[in-house]
Amino acid sequence: MTFPGAAEPFRYAESNTFHAKRHDLTRPGATRVTSEVSFTNVCSWRPWMEMGDRPGHLTATGIGRQNATPASLPPAFVEATMLRRPEVLKNPSAILQPLWDAKG
């Protein structure tokens, strides 16, 4: 992807690994299952960093869970989120839907 004023195109690569239980995957009618996720990416400097033509890149790693139930969230996360951003837990789709609908 190119950005105005950038000498080089922005490059991005990622790898995601999902682990799910076989009995969940083969359950009749299953359309979503809980899976453990690991993530790694490597990308160019983000344009907002204004790194110019300096050599280098960014990398990130993460772990998590996809399609888990709200009951499986860590209690400390739930408590802190309810205190600071209760709308995140009360109606997460209201926050996420505009991101999913956004035209990049």
pLDDT in tens, the chain (104 residues): 777 776 778 899 999 999 999 999 999 998 888 899 999 999 998 888 888 889 999 999 999 888 777 788 889 999 999 999 999 899 888 888 888 887 65
Residue-level pLDDT at 104: 56
pTM above 0.95, yes or no: no
55 vs 60: CA distance, rounded Å = 17
Let me know: does 62 contact 77? Beta carbons within 8 Å. Answer: no
Cα-Cα end-to-end distance for the chain: 11
